[in-house]
Amino acid sequence: MLRYARNDIVQSYPESEPITFQTYPEQLPMILITGATGFLGHNLCEYLAGRGALMRALVRPTSDYAFLEKLGVELAWGDLKDAKAVARACEGCQEVVHAGAKFRLWGPWEEFYRANVMGTHHILEAACQAKVRRFVYVSTVAVIGRPIPGRVIDEEHPCAPLDPYQYTKLMCERLVLRYHARRGLPVIVMRPGAFYGPWGHYSLNRLLFDDFLRGIRIQVHHGRHITFPAYVKDACWAIEALLERGRMGEIYNVSGESISHRQASDIISRLAGKSTWRFNAPEGLMVTVARVLEILARFTRREPWYPLNLYPYIFYDWPVSSEKAERELGFQPTSFEDGARQTLEWYRANGIPSSFFRTIASAFRHTLVKKFDLSRS
């Protein structure tokens, strides 16, 4: 049972007077991007730069921001947990895309709460002070927690989060929408599916592409469960559309066609010119392996390769509908075949991941060296 933090930020928002937001002349708005060095942020900045947008990114000095400088993105130093730095970054901006968050399938609740809920609170306050005219919050379809069997996952699907990431993202959604209701902040919530595409090595990218290219060919229940892939560049298009014509105070699912894990694996194998064979692992075996890896993680302090929080994404069906975004925004998702082809091309251009056994050996050596250094200190 998770020890959830108190809901004080979500329950008690500032009771200030509604804000009168400014209108701007016909000129390019300055867009503040949070999470610019992450998976979505990297692709988003490339996309918007190609569209001629003016951008400012909130970045930590320790992050890999060289590509942002090449794109001509203005840099604002700071962290979402630093309210003053966030306020400085937001000054003079007319639009905000809040894509920054802690997204992991493992880790302490407190870290998720500080990064996600507190960080969102800070950027909302800064946006109110700057009187921005658009605020897009990037949430996730995963806030629903466990899908209801036989029900399509649209924006009205009940939410019952299961892990710290899902729970804090739902808290952020509610906080964002309350700032709209009580303060008049012009917000829009986007719920993307499971991202895959260039610049990604985690979550669905890792399961479908990295693991396969490393030689790990595992499936459960013969791959029959439904996944909800979202090509990352589709999300970039959707964010631009939401900034232009999204309805304030609304939630939009943005995902590709939901397909079975088996279908996805077969498409990737065929495009890569490799066999479609997969080892069908029993559910009990995979859960046992995950439990053992979780125990080992207490000592290594590294996220296990298969954390238990991965379970809902593998063993449940996720039939996600983006009909609302299609109808109101003109959203047309990229087919999984086209998205997978472009993703594989990116892997070929940027280097195929090393084999699984080499990765494990490297992690083991890293742990041994770290423990040896600690014992000497």
What is the per-residue pLDDT for 86? 97
- Residues forming a β-bridge with 96: 32, 135
The CATH T-level fold of domain 8-199+228-258 is Rossmann fold (3.40.50)
Confidence at residue 24, expressed as pLDDT on a 0 to 100 scale: 46
Helices (H) and strands (E) in the chain, counts: 16, 13
pLDDT for the residue 352: 73
Alpha carbons 369 and 270: distance in angstroms, whole number: 40
Map tokens 């066609």 to a residue: 257
Total Cβ atoms within 10 A of residue 376: 6
CB 170 within 8 A of CB 143: yes
User: What is the pLDDT at residue 297?
Assistant: 86
Written as six digits, the tokens of 240 are 């631009």
What's the CA gap between 295 and 324, in Å, rounded?
Answer: 42
Spell out the per-residue pLDDT of the chain, length 377, in tens.
333 344 444 554 445 555 544 444 457 899 999 999 999 999 999 999 999 999 999 999 999 999 999 999 999 999 999 999 999 999 999 999 999 999 988 889 999 999 999 999 999 999 999 999 999 999 999 999 999 999 999 999 999 999 999 999 999 999 999 999 999 999 999 999 999 999 998 888 898 999 999 999 998 999 999 999 999 999 999 999 999 999 999 999 999 999 999 999 999 999 999 999 999 988 888 889 889 988 988 888 888 888 888 888 999 999 999 999 999 999 999 999 999 999 999 999 988 765 544 555 455 455 555 554 544 54
Pair type for strands 279-281 and 229-231 = unpaired
What pLDDT was estimated at residue 100?
A: 96
**Count of beta carbons in the 10 Å neighbourhood of residue 59:** 24
Q: What are the residue ranges spanned by the domains of the chain?
A: 8-199+228-258
Contacts of 86 (CB under 8 A, 6+ apart): 58, 78, 80, 119, 122, 123, 125, 126
- Provide the 3-class DSSP secondary structure of residue 11: helix
Instruction: Using DSSP, state whether 57 is helix, strand or coil.
Output: strand
Q: Model pTM?
A: 0.87
